[in-house]
Amino acid sequence: MTNILIVGHGAREHVITETLSSSGANIYAFMKSKNPGIAKLSKEILLSNLNNFDKLKTFIKGLNLDFAFIGPEDPLANGIVNFLSKEDIPSIGPFKAPAMLESSKIFTRNLLEKYKIEGNPKFKIFDSLKGLSSFLDELNDSVAIKPDGLTGGKGVKVFGDHLRSRQEIIDYCKELFSKGSKLIIEEKLIGEEFTLQSFVDGTHLVGMPLVQDHKRAFNDDTGPNTGGMGSYSFNDHLLPFISENDYKKAILIMEKSINAVKKETGYEFKGILYGQFMLTKDGPKLVEYNVRFGDPEAMNVLPLLKSDLIEICEKIISGSLNKIKIKFENKSTVCKYLAPTGYPINAKPTEVVVDIEKIKDIGGYLYFASVDLRGNKIKTTKSRSIAVLGIDKDISKAEQIAEQSISYIKGDLFHRTDIGTQKLINKRIEHMNSILN
């Protein structure tokens, strides 16, 4: 049996655990709150702050681990892979230096520029207001403003969406400077976003089916930005507004980036590289990299994986992903998140009751996110609580399965009813057509 350490406690880690466990792994989970799904599939768990490597050291002693799978970005940015490596445990996840692809947006933009990799929008880095006005003039205020570090997807503000005037842009920059943050101002990209996740062994990169996430809290893309309210994927592994050629261009950008990061830091990138792209009239542009699976996007791809995830991980570690063929089922998926009422601004924690058997009966899947099992009660925190997933050849059927699954979950929760519906997908297609023509 393969002994695997899972780090993290969300729905993403639940689906990773489920996939590894169904390949026959013994799971040991290091998590902050007691995810009932992960706990059930684990041999042992330890609840802890994920950046407490002393506690981790005590936990892993004597477990005879073959490797670790790191779910979230925070411990990666803090060097958990460097720590585990000293304990002779290889990881699916990058060392601290290549993890800068996610933890420093400035590092990534500069890397693409230095190594002449296509995909950057026009950008400039600022640590004061000096030169700001002339750059805003050049871009006609049509910009995105990004603080340098990890912000949980909530620090980026885009003109027209979150900022309405030059004054608001300047006020936001001043606010970030007052916190000591450097920032990037970049050209606002116009198009449709897509997520391309990949397995990377240091040299070879294997892309997974494309996914589209939904950042805004409410139907019709209204409300504040969130960690992601749901996502869908299509049976042909593309999206109706993304061509095979665009997919290949995005893969090329990612391949060049992992070569560049090796040259720049001296470390190979091993693990999952997640590219967030915007398809614009000038082709795919890089919005950002994440150095881990997406949440929710992990749930759109892992349940479709026909190949063995343990074997894939072993090949990532040995640098020989080119020796296997990785296959995904040709099915569509719709994932929807339930979050406590008031999320993400003023969430009220609630208790949830779930009829898992009914969800299984209709062919649905359920993944626990930020919930805590206390006795036999499931309490939510203030973050996204539970994800449901529908899988079918036909995306409308997958969407119906997701909705029906939600009817078996009780609690003071809300979700987006439009994700994965034909109406919303048509809107995306029309939007892309209007940009291309």
Q: What is the DSSP string of 220-275?
A: GGEEEE-S-SEEEE-TTSSBTTB-HHHHHHHHHHHHHHHHHHHHHHS---EEEEEE
CA distance 84 to 22: 25
Identify the three-state secondary structure at position 17.
Answer: helix
The nearest distance, CB 291 to ligand AMP, in angstroms, is: 13
Q: Residue 290's binding partner, choosing from ligand AMP, ligand GLY, none, with beta-carbon cut-off 5 to 8 A by kind?
A: ligand GLY
Question: Does residue 75 interact with ligand GLY by CB under 6 A?
Answer: no
Q: Applying CB under 6 A, which part among 53-61, 106-114, 264-272, 289-297 lies near ligand GLY?
A: 289-297
139 within 8 A of 122, measured Cβ to Cβ:
yes
Q: Of the candidates 246, 295, 399, 418, which one interacts with ligand GLY according to CB under 6 A?
A: 295
Select 11 or 313, whichever has its Cβ closest to ligand GLY. 11
CA distance 270 to 63: 23
Q: Of the candidates 66, 297, 314, 399, which one interacts with ligand GLY according to CB under 6 A?
A: 297
Select 148 or 295, whichever has its Cβ closest to ligand GLY. 295
Q: Residue 156's binding partner, choosing from ligand GLY, ligand AMP, none, with beta-carbon cut-off 5 to 8 A by kind?
A: ligand AMP
Query: Could you tell me which residues are beta bridge partners of residue 143?
Result: 187
Question: Does residue 102 interact with ligand GLY by CB under 6 A?
Answer: no
Select 169 or 304, whichever has its Cβ closest to ligand GLY. 304
The nearest distance, CB 168 to ligand GLY, in angstroms, is: 25
Select 34 or 416, whichever has its Cβ closest to ligand AMP. 416
**Secondary structure letter of residue 186 according to DSSP:** E
Q: Of the candidates 19, 198, 225, 290, which one interacts with ligand GLY according to CB under 6 A?
A: 290
Is the Cα dihedral 47, 305, 271, 249 positive or negative?
Answer: negative
The nearest distance, CB 43 to ligand GLY, in angstroms, is: 27
**Inter-CA distances, 60 with 5, 21, 57, 181, 263, Å:** 8, 18, 5, 36, 32
Question: Does residue 228 interact with ligand GLY by CB under 6 A?
Answer: yes
The number of helices, as runs of H, and strands, as runs of E, in the chain is: 15, 25
Q: Residue 372's binding partner, choosing from ligand AMP, ligand GLY, none, with beta-carbon cut-off 5 to 8 A by kind?
A: none
Q: Of the candidates 93, 294, 303, 420, which one interacts with ligand GLY according to CB under 6 A?
A: 294
Select 76 or 310, whichever has its Cβ closest to ligand GLY. 76
Select 73 or 201, whichever has its Cβ closest to ligand AMP. 73
Say which residues have a Cβ less than 8 Å from residue 381's Cβ, sequence separation at least 6: 33, 347, 349, 370, 371, 372
Select 297 or 314, whichever has its Cβ closest to ligand GLY. 297
Q: Residue 189's binding partner, choosing from ligand GLY, ligand AMP, none, with beta-carbon cut-off 5 to 8 A by kind?
A: ligand AMP
Q: Is 191 exposed, middle or buried (0-12, 13-18, 19+ CB in 10 A)?
A: buried
Q: Of the candidates 36, 153, 223, 240, which one interacts with ligand GLY according to CB under 6 A?
A: 153
CA distance 157 to 56: 36
CA distance 211 to 326: 17
Identify the three-state secondary structure at position 69.
Answer: strand
Say which residues have a Cβ less than 8 Å from residue 219's Cβ, sequence separation at least 6: 416, 417, 418
The nearest distance, CB 269 to ligand AMP, in angstroms, is: 19
Select 75 or 191, whichever has its Cβ closest to ligand AMP. 191
| Site size with ligand GLY, rule: CB under 6 A | 7
Binding site for ligand AMP (CB under 6 A): 121, 144, 146, 153, 156, 158, 186, 188-189, 193, 215, 276, 287-288
Q: Applying CB under 6 A, which part among 292-300, 322-330, 350-358, 396-404 lies near ligand GLY?
A: 292-300
Q: Residue 186's binding partner, choosing from ligand AMP, ligand GLY, none, with beta-carbon cut-off 5 to 8 A by kind?
A: ligand AMP
Select 173 or 335, whichever has its Cβ closest to ligand GLY. 335
**Inter-CA distances, 85 with 57, 68, 75, 82, 358, Å:** 12, 10, 14, 5, 43
Q: Residue 297's binding partner, choosing from ligand AMP, ligand GLY, none, with beta-carbon cut-off 5 to 8 A by kind?
A: ligand GLY
Select 343 or 365, whichever has its Cβ closest to ligand AMP. 343
198 within 8 A of 257, measured Cβ to Cβ:
no
**Residue 430 one-letter amino acid:** E
CA distance 347 to 343: 4
Q: Residue 121's binding partner, choosing from ligand GLY, ligand AMP, none, with beta-carbon cut-off 5 to 8 A by kind?
A: ligand AMP
155 within 8 A of 162, measured Cβ to Cβ:
no
19 within 8 A of 34, measured Cβ to Cβ:
no
Q: Under the rule (CB under 6 A), what is the footprint of ligand GLY?
A: 153, 213, 228, 290, 294-295, 297
